[in-house]
Amino acid sequence: MEVVTFGESMVLFSTDKSLPLEYVHHFNKQMAGAESNVAIGLAKLGHRVGWFSKLGDDPFGRYVLHQIRGYGIDTSRCISTPDAPTGVFFKEQRSRGKTQVYYYRHHSAASLMKPDELDEEYLSGFKILHITGITPALSSNCLALTRKAIAVAKERGLKIVFDPNVRWKLWDSEEAARKIMLELADSADYVLPGLDEGELLTGLSQPEDIAAALLKPGVTGVVVKLGGKGAYYKSAQHSGYMAPFPAEEVDPVGAGDAFAAGFISGLLHGEKLEQAVLRASAMGAIAVGFNGDVEGLPDETELLHRMNSKDDYQNVKR
């Protein structure tokens, strides 16, 4: 096995009409969650992936589990509980490319995940642990689980990739978010913040300064995602800007998860930081052209085709 990740996946109800939700009567049912998005992205690229969570013993929980398992992802460590429901959320589309998300996840099944439920031997069978800042924000026991997973990963020699993925509605304060995010970033081998997240963590506003501040001892590389402006990457040996791939943005939700999947795929292929960021950028550009978090994620052939279209990108080194 190659990559393991964990977190909350929920049922998403979306509409193709550009209307406030109070005027919408018909919804499309999908499944989404940052960590499972990354897992699916990697699985579609041909990687062997494991994902675990706690789901409600309800129709939505079974739906989520079947969807993720259907991509060939190992879900053998998932737990079903009758004590809380599977979370749901709704996506409102006000105009093309502009969305608002409403979450109903408070006291959900995933928030009941506990550190003593972690299968340490299971983690040892992987090369990379992917974590986000969402899971530790769900509850104090989810934070404890995240800390334990990091400790086990370090003991067993896994590389850790951390995407802050800040969800402000889950945090009591900006200071609480900053404290935990910095702790997790310092524990990771690779850190993938967005520009706003980088500002939160460091108090700095320029990508070069953010990356330099986060590149602490033990951190191998930092990639600052700049959305439609590309990305900036930095390691002890290399740094540079990756210009964005041209993309027709239909739905921006899930682009960061696609980016993370592409980046991790690059690491698994043994690529240098620059090439892994190129792969990540191509993944993100493809993903935003489709409605839904995972429906537009490419397979390896499609991704390589986009990466090899040399007119589509330009890498500017600094």
Which of 189, 257, 293, 299 is the catalytic position? 257
Higher pLDDT, 23 or 96: 23
Q: Find the distance separating the first CA and the last CA of the chain, reported in whole Å.
A: 36
Q: How confident is the model at residue 315 (pLDDT cuts 50, 70, 90)?
A: very low
| Full-model pTM | 0.93
For 201, other C-beta atoms within 10 Å of its C-beta total 22
| Res 255: pLDDT | 87
Q: How confident is the model at residue 313 (pLDDT cuts 50, 70, 90)?
A: very low
Q: What is the enclosing helix (H) or strand (E) of 249? A: none
Q: How far is it between the farthest Cα atoms of the chain?
A: 55
Q: What is the pLDDT of residues 140-199, one digit of tens each?
A: 999 999 999 999 999 999 999 999 999 888 998 999 999 999 999 999 999 999 999 999
Percent with pLDDT over 70 in the chain:
94
Higher pLDDT, 289 or 266: 266
For the question of residue 189 being annotated catalytic, the response is no
Find residue 239's DSSP bridge partners. Answer: 234
Superfamily of domain 3-306: Ribokinase (3.40.1190.20)
Residue 295 carries which DSSP code? Answer: T
| Res 228: pLDDT | 85
Domain boundaries, the chain: 3-306
Higher pLDDT, 265 or 308: 265
Q: What is the pLDDT of residues 116-133, one digit of tens each?
A: 999 999 999 999 999 999
